[in-house]
Structure 1
């Protein structure tokens, strides 16, 4: 399994900010990282790259100096991945990924235009980047746009015209939202009470070719760090080919203790939102619940057997 991390880090000019990013990288072990709003120049990002122990990097410098700095995007990758940059701007990095195992696909990191008057430019950028080639295509980042009204909580009225621009661009590019596990919003204004505003601005999108190739992948909204944006992590999984040797099928058992964890419901909901045949959904849910349980609790069945053996001695 490989991981892709996207995070609007809101500046990496301080040691605590870099340490926060480093903790995420150590915990999640991503092979590819797309950062937005680094507020750094390339020579400054070089120090961050060394601190994070990445081999490859491509940087689009921030604009301005001192406290007036804004923007800046960066793509980082591990030694077992080869990245070819196709195009870039202050709002995107487009690339071809050659991952281990001979997997080749396209990744486009997006930093959406934050200004209200420029929101339409994000949709126009996506349309410009779209082509009719059948290559698997993944997009990720802070789009600064939402698709649906449920992706906003608090604040003023939902801007349906902006959402329609985003949906129209996604339809044109044949990109589909990859649903997630975790907190439903990725950005907050950090205010309390009635003044609190939360929105889902960060996401991964993929075309049908990418989803067919990596159909068991899933997105996790990670816990909040220093930024007002959550880091989001895409775990890329392919269905492994079955060997010629016949193996006994493992019977799936739903564990009662899972119901005490909120994440259990999120795993089920994220899979069900993908749509499709009910039997396929149930099979996918069972597979993902097994993996989530192993990560959350470890192999408790094995531990129980070991304890019983010890008690029998």
Structure 2
């Protein structure tokens, strides 16, 4: 599973929207926050339409300027906002495949020290209820160490002391990360200034229970680097593609399965009806496959072993009617799964051969041209 944050510095521009959506797709993000969107209430619907495939929750109710927007894939995880403010959104995430719970806080801190004190207090309050692995990431708008600014004015120790006190109380530490050390620059050419304003913080419970890696990427069209966290022990399930197997027609109940899966009434035009029927039939065929054609090689070996054992017994009692009937039944079962296995292997080999021919199209036509000259 992939979690990310990116201070996009405004999301009203269509170019920014396309870049942000491309970033989510390119990095296969399952849950990500875009911060400092500047999107007002009236524009939320129009802007969010760009991000197809994702659900959206935001803190526009806490601040008119859309400071934090969270996107997530509903088939990968469920997300519940536990509490929010203009500077943060604290969420409970359930990874559906593994059923693991984590808590993630997305941060976009104000600039002024007197305003960020409220955020530090909120994080301390959250830490007292911390029962799950906790990740805290985003734009903190303050450095944590003296060497995290370059080309700018002297670091204010008071700012550092306040965030350090907060993190000490919360038991949060920097998550190990690769990539950019300085996560912000002012894009001012000769007067260029750098700072590490964006962080990924993790609780001790996270570091001991979650196997994750993190990196800060190049800033791109923003002045902030996005951060990407990969949760390696929460894999994203692959969607299994549906492929019709010719061997299914060998099953005695094949025709009945097709009839049961197809005979259902749907409302709508012909295309919608056809789509719904095919979708329903796919489920019936998958159940047929699971019951009779899964692990064909194992089924063949088992049927062959059972047939041989029965034939050994029949050699000792050649007139036993139950063994005669049993041997006939086992032989038919073995021939059925053996035929199915051969058809499945042939179909797979044929597909692979077609793919190889596809890759060799230029070579194929060049050979035809050579032979025509002979």
Greater RCO structure (CA 8 Å; 6+ sep): 1
> TM-score, with normalisation over the residues of structure 1?
0.69
> TM-score, with normalisation over the residues of structure 2?
0.58
- Provide Cα deviations, 1:121-168, integer angstroms capped at 9, x if missing partner: 332232132224431111111111211112111111012221111111
**1:220 is paired with a residue of what secondary structure?**
strand
1:212 equivalent in alignment to 2:200: no
When the two chains are superposed, the root-mean-square deviation of aligned CA atoms in Å is 2.1
Change in CA separation of 1:43 and 1:29 when aligned onto 2, cut-off 3 Å:
farther
Q: Which residue of 1 aligns with 2:143?
A: 146
How far apart, in 1, do the equivalents of 2:4 and 2:166 lie?
23
How far apart, in 1, do the equivalents of 2:232 and 2:154 lie?
38
Aligned length: 233
| Contact 2:214/2:227 (8 A) holds in 1 | yes
Q: Which residue of 1 aligns with 2:46?
A: 47
- Displacement of 1:70: 4.2
Change in CA separation of 1:188 and 1:63 when aligned onto 2, cut-off 3 Å:
farther
How far apart, in 2, do the equivalents of 1:89 and 1:20 lie?
27
Q: Which residue of 1 aligns with 2:180?
A: 183
Q: Which residue of 1 aligns with 2:14?
A: 15
1:238 equivalent in alignment to 2:233: yes
Q: Which residue of 1 aligns with 2:102?
A: 105
- Displacement of 1:41: 3.0
- Provide Cα deviations, 1:51-84, integer angstroms capped at 9, x if missing partner: 22233211112889xxxx7452111110221011
**1:45 is paired with a residue of what secondary structure?**
helix
| Contact 1:40/1:62 (8 A) holds in 2 | no
2:122 to 113, 120, 125: 125
Change in CA separation of 1:120 and 1:133 when aligned onto 2, cut-off 3 Å:
closer
Larger radius of gyration: 2
Q: Where does 1:234-273 land on structure 2 (aligned, <5 Å)?
A: 234-238=229-233
Q: Which residue of 2 aligns with 1:25?
A: 24
- Provide Cα deviations, 1:279-306, integer angstroms capped at 9, x if missing partner: xxxxxxxxxxxxxxxxxxxxxxxxxxxx
How far apart, in 2, do the equivalents of 1:212 and 1:46 lie?
40
| Contact 1:42/1:60 (8 A) holds in 2 | no
Q: Which residue of 2 aligns with 1:38?
A: 37
- Provide Cα deviations, 1:28-60, integer angstroms capped at 9, x if missing partner: 011001121111135533334332223321111
Q: Which residue of 1 aligns with 2:70?
A: 75
- Displacement of 1:113: 1.4
**1:52 is paired with a residue of what secondary structure?**
coil
- Displacement of 1:97: 0.2
How far apart, in 1, do the equivalents of 2:62 and 2:208 lie?
39
How far apart, in 2, do the equivalents of 1:62 and 1:181 lie?
35
Structure 2, unaligned stretches of length 5 or more?
Answer: 236-374
How far apart, in 1, do the equivalents of 2:40 and 2:53 lie?
17
| Contact 2:67/2:108 (8 A) holds in 1 | no
How far apart, in 2, do the equivalents of 1:134 and 1:210 lie?
10
Change in CA separation of 1:236 and 1:25 when aligned onto 2, cut-off 3 Å:
same
**1:225 is paired with a residue of what secondary structure?**
coil
